[in-house]
A and B are shown apart, each in its own frame.
Chain A
């Protein structure tokens, strides 16, 4: 097997380790270690895939409800209580729509484009941690893998824009690629400053470095500028308003998605929301302490006088970790939705100016200052 992952299992850190428990259980039932591993492998992947799709349904519902609240409407209310089943209805509608490939479009590239947009986003969930051992694979290159994978997406956008045989689609695809390239650089530089402080690319190590003093040890206090840069760039990478130029409906109909319908359109839709939730999760991992609770769980167990290694306490700790990661992420999703319904769209030249002439220099200065602070105060900035 690839030896890139599962470094965590070798060190046996504290906290829940579902994998080793499962493997022990399976081997206890008389399976060989190889077969036990083979049984284990699909489980976390399926779980994360289901989690990602449920996350999308929740954020679509939030988007509808919050936009309604912003515009003083009620929003969906008949499909389920408070309209919670509305996203499901949307999805079912898209499944049953006719799948159209326009005449004189390039059928092969037209079908391949949405796939290339969605697959890298879902693959990136590999590195999102919900707890010390609650992630698919603690890859050593961690956060770098996400940056690399997200750079594949513009190829899918260019592909669907080109193959639609439509001016609006092509322009949308080109804009998406230009936007994605320009905002990837400040994004990577902001991540680099965090990586420099935690001395590791692994998402688990990045969170571990933010534990200790609860909310005060989170990276947002040490990297406020980096946090803002990262959030702006993440919004631009997700093509959310105020940066939704690739699909600006007044100018480009719907950009690269103009000709798509049915499930292919649903893939774009799914991809953009999975990407939004993923970006929010990564902001919470990089800057808001990931799964750590504002008051360290070790302190609480100390006050209560229970051992942090007791099985029940570990289960509670793990649940708190998952809940706080998701809460932080959805708080950010809420801000993204609020931004979408309250800000106007920027122009393409303003977008590129912001990326290249403002964010890039600021990100470079942020990196330099972080390096200087790391040398000057190695205690606070992870020497």
Chain B
């Protein structure tokens, strides 16, 4: 066996082990911050697997989108609302865990069956290597144009929705509850702190 293929196998084994163990950690660890960091590790090792499959552009895109954007945003959200609170015990936790475990095991068995019964064409098509970037671009602008544009419209809708939810001054009533909008949350006009509001009372000094 040549040095190259040995290296490749070692890389594959390490990356797969990291992916599997990391994903188990994401699901099973009680500390949500650890889960989020492990998720980043899982994304990175999946990118490594893409690299092993000669898909360097997809690997770089995986790192940029999933690690650099999705995972950072998840961490950001967790840390912005990082309140230490003990969660109330949910009744029937054991039953729920058993049920979800059973569903996952069933899915795993199904996927295993698919993996072992599908007649995979081995060896697969020859890797295109560095041409891949050009091929992806061609496909995105020809036969996959509609799904591509639909995905961007979906993202645009999500973005507008987020803006509407975040900027409550758009509506006079709260979008979620239907009650009058909380005026305290509405963005105020900026008044510089040091400008005096009345002739003899500087704002900073008279504030209690």
CB-based contact A158/B69 at 8 Å:
no
A residues within 8 A CB of B132? 140
Give complex CA distance A7, B54 in Å: 13
A residues within 8 A CB of B17? none
Partner of B60, one of A144, A161, A181: A144
CB-based contact B8/A181 at 8 Å:
no
Q: Is A247 positioned at the interface, with any CB of B under 8 Å from its CB?
A: no
Closest B-chain residue to A188, C-beta based? B64
B70 to chain A, nearest CB (A): 11
A residues within 8 A CB of B54? 2-4
Partner of A4, one of B7, B40, B51, B64: B51
CB-based contact A154/B61 at 8 Å:
no
Q: Is B49 positioned at the interface, with any CB of A under 8 Å from its CB?
A: no
What are 9 A-B pairs at a CB distance below 8 A? A38-B3, A139-B56, A144-B57, A158-B75, A158-B76, A159-B37, A174-B76, A178-B76, A181-B69
Give complex CA distance A145, B133 in Å: 13
Q: Is B79 positioned at the interface, with any CB of A under 8 Å from its CB?
A: yes
CB-based contact A140/B129 at 8 Å:
yes
A residues within 8 A CB of B44? 152
Closest B-chain residue to A149, C-beta based? B63
Give complex CA distance A159, B36 in Å: 10
Greatest chain A CB density within 10 A among B2, B4, B60 is at B60
CB-based contact A147/B64 at 8 Å:
yes
B residues within 8 A CB of A2? 8, 51-52, 54
Give complex CA distance A149, B56 in Å: 13
Answer whether A34 and B4 are a contact pair too, CB < 8 Å, given A141-B60, A148-B60.
yes
CB-based contact B63/A140 at 8 Å:
no
Q: Is A166 positioned at the interface, with any CB of B under 8 Å from its CB?
A: no
Q: Is B181 positioned at the interface, with any CB of A under 8 Å from its CB?
A: no
Which A residues contact B (CB, under 8 angstroms)?
1-4, 7, 34-35, 37-38, 109, 139-141, 144-145, 147-149, 151-152, 154-155, 158-159, 161-162, 170, 173-174, 177-178, 180-181, 184, 201
Give complex CA distance A307, B61 in Å: 43
Interface string of B62-84 (1 = CB under 8 A from A): 01100111011101100110000
A residues within 8 A CB of B76? 158, 174, 177-178
Answer whether A181 and B4 are a contact pair too, CB < 8 Å, given A140-B130, A149-B63.
no
Closest B-chain residue to A185, C-beta based? B69
CB-based contact B72/A141 at 8 Å:
no
Partner of B79, one of A35, A140, A174: A174
Answer whether A34 and B2 are a contact pair too, CB < 8 Å, given A155-B75, A184-B68.
yes
Give complex CA distance A154, B69 in Å: 10
Answer whether A148 and B61 are a contact pair too, CB < 8 Å, given A158-B76, A159-B37, A184-B68.
yes
Number of interface residues of B (CB under 8 A): 33
Give complex CA distance A301, B33 in Å: 61
Q: Is B127 positioned at the interface, with any CB of A under 8 Å from its CB?
A: yes
Top 6 A-B residue pairs of the complex, sorted by shortest distance between their CB atoms: A151-B68, A140-B130, A148-B64, A1-B4, A148-B63, A148-B60
Interface string of B1-40 (1 = CB under 8 A from A): 0111001100000000000000000000000010001001
CB-based contact B56/A177 at 8 Å:
no
A62 to chain B, nearest CB (A): 30
Closest B-chain residue to A143, C-beta based? B60
CB-based contact B72/A154 at 8 Å:
yes
CB-based contact B72/A158 at 8 Å:
yes
Closest A-chain residue to B5, C-beta based? A1
B34 to chain A, nearest CB (A): 8
B residues within 8 A CB of A151? 63-64, 67-69, 72
Closest A-chain residue to B132, C-beta based? A140
A residues within 8 A CB of B80? 174
Greatest chain A CB density within 10 A among B67, B73, B132 is at B67
A residues within 8 A CB of B51? 2, 4
CB-based contact B79/A170 at 8 Å:
yes
Closest B-chain residue to A199, C-beta based? B134
A residues within 8 A CB of B72? 151, 154-155, 158, 177, 180-181
Give complex CA distance A378, B13 in Å: 48
A residues within 8 A CB of B67? 151-152, 155
Answer whether A34 and B68 are a contact pair too, CB < 8 Å, given A141-B56, A177-B76.
no
